[in-house]
Amino acid sequence: MKYKIHFPQFHKEIELLKEKNILDYARELKIPIGSSCKGRGICKECRIVIEKGCEVLNQKTELENDLNRNERLACQAIIKDDSADIHIRLSYQGSLEQIATEGGKKEVKLNPLTRKKGNKVLFDDKEIGSYQNHIYGIAADIGTTTIVLHLVDLESGKLIFTSAFENPQRLIDGNDVISRIMYDREKPAALCEELISCINEKISKMPCDTNEIYEMVAVGNSTMRDMFFGLDVQSIGVKPFKSVTELRGSFTFLNKRGSNSPLRINKNANIYGAPLIGSHVGADTTAVCLCTGFFDESNLTAMAIDIGTNGEIVLKYDHNIIATSCAAGPALEPMPALRGAIQRISIDNGEIGWKTIGNTEPVGICGSGIIDLLGELIKTKEIDENGYFVNRKVFKITDKVQLTQNAIKGENGLMWSKAAICLGIKVLLEETGISTDDLDRVYLAGSFGSYIDKENARRIGLIPAVPLIKVVQVGNAAAGGAKEILLSRERRRLAEESVKKVKHIDLELIPNYGERLMLDEQNFKKLKFP
């Protein structure tokens, strides 16, 4: 008799083979399971519950010590014996609940490049169609984790519809740009096709005649933007980490005609890729700068921070702008923001309070919850400023959800991610001689920055130690900037001109980078400079 591995949630099963791990089976069956670290046991996205058949698997590895009794990491669970059926349930399932969609509500003077003249539709004063009833445009923020599409009426400037969803590539090959670039090398065009087909499906559900969509403005990090345009992204994965549009010379923005793209919008539509800042600091950061006023005349000294597996940091001072990116890794988001993720945690007089997304039983902790937890543990002196528990090895929030010492201080743990972002911030301050006291504003952009508690983020040294009134959570400023570009030719030109003046810093080239990252910044001290 042949035994099988079953995934009852998905009504799928397949015959057992010895020495194969469960993540491989899940991928083979196209089960939507996260695996950002590509099976290295770091991201913990592949957590599963073994409902039946534990005995045919290998022993738990060290990487699984902090899991519940019946839980395993799919990438670590290997079939050792094919003499019984196994039943598997994913610990995390559902769609992301915390996606920031809105950002920067400022009014821009309506003057789109795509407009109506008589009974014609013009793009940059050239006829591209005959006017029916509407002229629509889409502002798209294509993130590594999530995608936001805003359908905008280009005649009134009104937002008509928003679609926010997970990037489908995430379940194919991890949650960081380097994994995507490597996958693209092995299977050229596969990720691009997946992305476009998902976006097409969302566009088809928009409340409009898709033939009346005459422009799309796309922002995203350099890899995502270029992949969306079907460009070769391999050069972004190797030194000096540059997009083909950077390597070719004078400008990095893109224009493509609808008929040359598989997107289901008007065939004469213009598809615009906003310009990049440099290297991994892409068009999404350009859009954040536009939306937060970094490209406008002002005397504010301000910093914008977008925290993610790849974090971007920009500093504006006098009339200068300097930017960098840092590989923060997946630790700050131990569980995606799905139903059942603990999103808020407090500790008062030893009492632990928590709140989950969807008010359901907790199954893990998402990014905002982990920042709260670290902040509260520091406040109550349960962990010291170097990240070590004072009196314990594990902190239990519930019977099933806990924080281990290894999750904080282990390889690629929380401290590592904090250190990467903190070092990026400090390097920009050092380069410019700006002190944390000089900062008039600290903008937190993106979904992560929108949902975290800023006091706890400041307490653990993830953001500069400035008065909280100066810290502004700006939501999805990248999508906000894309909308500005869509609605105003002046804002588009400003973005194109301004990116040329932004100085980009490659963190890996600064002296003692490794030592500073692995030693100096491995603590939860307040982020002060000097």
In the bound state with ligand FES, the residue whose beta carbon lies nearer, of 92 and 229, is 92
* 29-37, 142-150, 214-222, 338-346 -> range binding ligand FES (CB under 6 A): 29-37
- Of the candidate residues 6, 26, 35, 371, the single one contacting ligand FES (CB under 6 A): 35
Residue nearest to ligand FES according to CB distances in the complex = 75
In the bound state with ligand FES, the residue whose beta carbon lies nearer, of 24 and 155, is 24
Q: Give me the least distance between CB of 35 and ligand FES, in Å please.
A: 4
In the bound state with ligand FES, the residue whose beta carbon lies nearer, of 77 and 100, is 77
Q: Give me the least distance between CB of 518 and ligand FES, in Å please.
A: 22
Indicate the Cα dihedral angle 272, 273, 275, 276, nearest 10°.
Answer: 180
* 40-48, 281-289, 292-300, 407-415 -> range binding ligand FES (CB under 6 A): 40-48
Q: Give me the least distance between CB of 180 and ligand FES, in Å please.
A: 15
What is the spatial distance between Cα 456 and Cα 497, in angstroms, rounded to a whole number?
A: 37
Residues in contact with ligand FES, counted by CB under 6 A, come to a total of 12
45 is a site residue for ligand FES (CB under 6 A):
yes
Q: Give me the least distance between CB of 61 and ligand FES, in Å please.
A: 10
* 42-50, 149-157, 241-249, 262-270 -> range binding ligand FES (CB under 6 A): 42-50
HSE value, Cβ hemisphere, 13 Å, CA-based, for 27: 18
Residues 6+ apart with CB under 8 A from 165: 95, 96, 99, 146, 147, 198, 202
Q: With contact defined as beta carbons under 8 Å apart, do 485 and 140 qualify? A: no
Cross-strand partners of 71: 49
Q: How many CB atoms lie within 10 A of CB 428?
A: 22
Q: Give me the least distance between CB of 310 and ligand FES, in Å please.
A: 17
Q: Give me the least distance between CB of 236 and ligand FES, in Å please.
A: 23
Q: What is the DSSP letter of 436?
A: G
Q: Give me the least distance between CB of 33 and ligand FES, in Å please.
A: 8
Task: Tell which residue, 266, 303, 289, 272, has the closest CA to residue 431.
Answer: 303
Tokens of 140: 């798209």
Q: Give me the least distance between CB of 137 and ligand FES, in Å please.
A: 38
Q: β-pairing, 71-73 with 47-52?
A: antiparallel
DSSP string covering 294-341, please? Answer: TTSS----EEEEE-SSEEEEEEEETTEEEEEEEE--STT-SS-S-TTE
* 14-22, 35-43, 101-109, 522-530 -> range binding ligand FES (CB under 6 A): 35-43
Sheet with strand 136-142: strands edge to edge: 159-166, 146-153, 136-142, 213-220, 270-273, 254-257
| Sign for the pseudo-dihedral over CA of 93, 98, 100, 102 | positive
Please identify which residue in the block is written with the tokens 């139903």: 339
22 is a site residue for ligand FES (CB under 6 A):
no
Tokens of 406: 């290894």
43 is a site residue for ligand FES (CB under 6 A):
yes
* 38-46, 352-360, 415-423, 471-479 -> range binding ligand FES (CB under 6 A): 38-46
Q: β-pairing, 254-257 with 213-220?
A: unpaired
In the bound state with ligand FES, the residue whose beta carbon lies nearer, of 46 and 445, is 46
- Report in angstroms the alpha-carbon separations of 241 from 84, 238, 359: 48, 5, 43
In the stretch 75-114, what mask flags binding to ligand FES with x, by CB under 6 A? Answer: x---------------------------------------
37 is a site residue for ligand FES (CB under 6 A):
yes
In the bound state with ligand FES, the residue whose beta carbon lies nearer, of 35 and 436, is 35
Q: Give me the least distance between CB of 356 and ligand FES, in Å please.
A: 22
Q: With contact defined as beta carbons under 8 Å apart, do 204 and 139 qualify? A: no
- Of the candidate residues 5, 22, 26, 42, the single one contacting ligand FES (CB under 6 A): 42
Cross-strand partners of 47: 73
What is the spatial distance between Cα 487 and Cα 139, in angstroms, rounded to a whole number?
A: 9
DSSP string covering 364-414, please? Answer: EE-HHHHHHHHHHHHHTTSB-TTS-BSS-SEEESSSS-EEEHHHHHSTT-H
In the bound state with ligand FES, the residue whose beta carbon lies nearer, of 103 and 334, is 334
Q: Give me the least distance between CB of 27 and ligand FES, in Å please.
A: 10
Q: Give me the least distance between CB of 38 and ligand FES, in Å please.
A: 6
Which 143-202 residues touch ligand FES, going by CB under 6 A? none
401 is a site residue for ligand FES (CB under 6 A):
no
Q: β-pairing, 441-445 with 471-475?
A: parallel
Q: Give me the least distance between CB of 111 and ligand FES, in Å please.
A: 47
Q: Give me the least distance between CB of 332 and ligand FES, in Å please.
A: 15
DSSP string covering 70-99, please? Answer: TEEETTT-BB---SS-EEEEESS-S-----
Task: Tell which residue, 60, 25, 63, has the closest CA to residue 41.
Answer: 63
- Of the candidate residues 16, 67, 73, 322, the single one contacting ligand FES (CB under 6 A): 73
Sheet with strand 351-356: strands edge to edge: 351-356, 341-348, 364-365
* 33-41, 233-241, 306-314, 383-391 -> range binding ligand FES (CB under 6 A): 33-41
- Of the candidate residues 13, 27, 41, 261, the single one contacting ligand FES (CB under 6 A): 41
Q: Give me the least distance between CB of 68 and ligand FES, in Å please.
A: 15
- Of the candidate residues 32, 39, 94, 168, the single one contacting ligand FES (CB under 6 A): 39
In the bound state with ligand FES, the residue whose beta carbon lies nearer, of 172 and 302, is 172
- Give contact residues for ligand FES (rule: CB under 6 A): 35-37, 39, 41-46, 73, 75
